[in-house]
Amino acid sequence: MKEYWIKDSSLADRGRKRIAWSETQMPVLMEIRKRFSEEKPLKGVRIGACLHITTDTGVLMRALAAGGAELYLCASNPLSTQDDVTAALVEEGVHVYGFRGQTEEEYYRCLGYVIASEPMITMDDGADLISAIHKLRYGIRTKELDYLKDIVEGIDFEKMVDGIIGGSEETTTGVIRLKALAREGKLLYPVIAVNDAESKRLFDNPIGTGQSALDGIIRATNTLLAGRDAVVVGFGNVGSGIAHRLRGMGARVTVVEVDPIKALKAVMDGFNVEPMSKAARHGDLFITATGDINVIRREHFEVMKDGAILANAGHFNVEISIKDLEEISTRKERISDCITTYILRDGRRLYLLAEGRLVNLACAEGHPSEVMDMSFSLQALSAKYLVENRGKLPRDVLMVPAEIDREVASLKLKAMGIEIEKLTDEQRRYLSSWTLGT
Ligand SMILES: NC(=O)c1ccc[n+]([C@@H]2O[C@H](COP(=O)([O-])OP(=O)(O)OC[C@H]3O[C@@H](n4cnc5c(N)ncnc54)[C@H](O)[C@@H]3O)[C@@H](O)[C@H]2O)c1
């Protein structure tokens, strides 16, 4: 078993400094870390995490370690790892398996090392770790799992799963996958949907991705957003945040949606709403945020303007059909770290950012730490909750307990120096009564 697998240990100093900067932006998680160092709620607990390895994740790892956990961490995306962070964490005793630019095989082998640690809690961003554990336990063979089979050889998966206290999931796509597993009655342990907590979903998804997706696009292309004809596909938590921020930067924004309620919301927020077949004809910049597959595909590429830019903010690289793009192109050229130009038969060029992967993490640094402060505080407190309730929770996808959700929001407000109004006793009585009226 490898102790770690990273790109370059000599980057540790830079990683340490950058994690230290994030710590200054994550007061809630730092408060939790302080409590964890005193209480040691995770003493002796092996946590296997599959997360984007950024500086914020570094701060989370330090908080979990302060709580007494033993940590095994792999990347949740082949392109999002910050190699200096991995080096710093390895020096601090975290078993890290990940580096930027992994092949598919390397990605799954890294996942294999985390599984081989036989984690007692799993922490996912996209559900790759938990889904691999379930497939191995159910004896389902896939090409991806073949990559790691020698690493996990000899493990008794039934016994291993029995030892798992629970898991947590960071993102919408992961929660969708887990709910499908639970619906089939196959989920083997309780999993907390951190994504669905209010203090995550209402901030991380729209505000964090809203800013960081544009950051990624700007860093990759240095393009001017003002006056741009921008098309946002999906007007959910993430897409609505991106659309509003694009408009704030002066872009002319069209929204593409399949859900009539979300589409109506977009219309009443003042956006132009169209089907993709129309939007494809005029957009200069396309950003997908649906968690769905092939939302931009051949028929759309065929009518796009020369020079259109394509970016994805959804979890997997499936929203923009790369297969179709490859098939209709005569050649492609990597023109920078983040841009691939596809040259179509008629000479038009389409620019794909980050190989269709999460543009905010692959071309920038992911969400600002201030936002991850809440998401990762929820992760840390959810791990503590799972341990405290070991054996008592159902094998289902569970909400973050409301007290934890509200505590994270309250701690964030306190850290921001913002006081809020409190209900009087009279108001509390009034709001919980059905007898009072006009
Ligand atoms: N980049 C990041 O850092 C980051 C952060 C959070 C979430 N995510 C990911 O972003 C994706 C979206 O998350 P969300 O929280 O906004 O989910 P959501 O469910 O709130 O929104 C998705 C929206 O896409 C719409 N949609 C689905 N198929 C469509 C199609 N073919 N055309 C147009 N619209 C379509 C849905 O109706 C829905 O309104 C997920 O994959 C999630 O995991 C990424």
What domains are there in the chain, each with its CATH number?
A: 9-201+367-415 (3.40.50.1480), 205-362 (3.40.50.720)
Q: What is the pLDDT of residues 422-437, one digit of tens each?
A: 999 999 999 999 998 8
**Residue 239 CB less than 6 A away from ligand 1:** yes
- pLDDT at position 318 is 97
**Residue 73 CB less than 6 A away from ligand 1:** no
Atom of ligand 1 nearest to the CA of 294: 31
Binning pLDDT at 50, 70 and 90, where does residue 141 land? very high
- pLDDT at position 436 is 82
- pLDDT at position 281 is 98
- Whether 413 shows a pLDDT value over 80: the answer reads yes
Distances (CA, A) of 87 to 76, 90, 100, 157, 371: 17, 5, 12, 31, 24
**Residue 358 CB less than 6 A away from ligand 1:** yes
Read off the pLDDT of each residue in 360-379 and give the average, rounded to a whole number: 96
Distance (angstroms) between ligand 1 centre and the Cα of 29 equals 26
Q: What is the pLDDT of residues 398-411, one digit of tens each?
A: 999 999 999 999 99
Protein residue closest via CA to atom 19 of ligand 1: 236
- Whether 237 shows a pLDDT value over 80: the answer reads yes
Q: Which of 315, 361, 365 to mutate to test the pocket of ligand 1 (most atoms within 8 A of CB)?
A: 315
Distance CA 167, CA 182 (A): 13
Protein residue closest via CA to atom 38 of ligand 1: 236
Q: Which of 170, 172, 321 to mutate to test the pocket of ligand 1 (most atoms within 8 A of CB)?
A: 172
Read off the pLDDT of each residue in 1-22 and give the average, rounded to a whole number: 97
- Whether 1 shows a pLDDT value over 90: the answer reads no
- pLDDT at position 34 is 98
Q: What is the pLDDT of residues 193-226, one digit of tens each?
A: 999 999 999 999 999 999 999 999 999 999 999 9
**Residue 313 CB less than 6 A away from ligand 1:** yes
Q: What is the dihedral of CA 275, 276, 280, 286, to 10 degrees?
A: 120
- Whether 262 shows a pLDDT value over 90: the answer reads yes
Protein residue closest via CA to atom 10 of ligand 1: 314
Distances (CA, A) of 225 to 214, 219, 241, 271, 375: 9, 12, 15, 16, 28
- pLDDT at position 438 is 77
Residue 60's closest CA among 108, 92, 38?
92
SS3 content of the chain, % helix, strand, coil (to 5): 45, 15, 35
Atom of ligand 1 nearest to the CA of 174: 43
Q: What is the pLDDT of residues 110-133, one digit of tens each?
A: 999 999 999 999 999 999 999 999
Atom of ligand 1 nearest to the CA of 319: 31
Q: What is the pLDDT of residues 310-345, one digit of tens each?
A: 999 999 999 999 999 999 999 999 999 999 999 999
- pLDDT at position 227 is 98
Distance CA 32, CA 24 (A): 14
Distance CA 82, CA 202 (A): 26
Please state the pTM of the whole predicted model.
Answer: 0.95
Average pLDDT for the chain: 97
Distance CA 273, CA 269 (A): 10
Distance (angstroms) between ligand 1 centre and the Cα of 238 equals 6
Distance (angstroms) between ligand 1 centre and the Cα of 71 equals 30
Read off the pLDDT of each residue in 408-427 and give the average, rounded to a whole number: 97
**Residue 190 CB less than 6 A away from ligand 1:** no
Distance (angstroms) between ligand 1 centre and the Cα of 171 equals 10
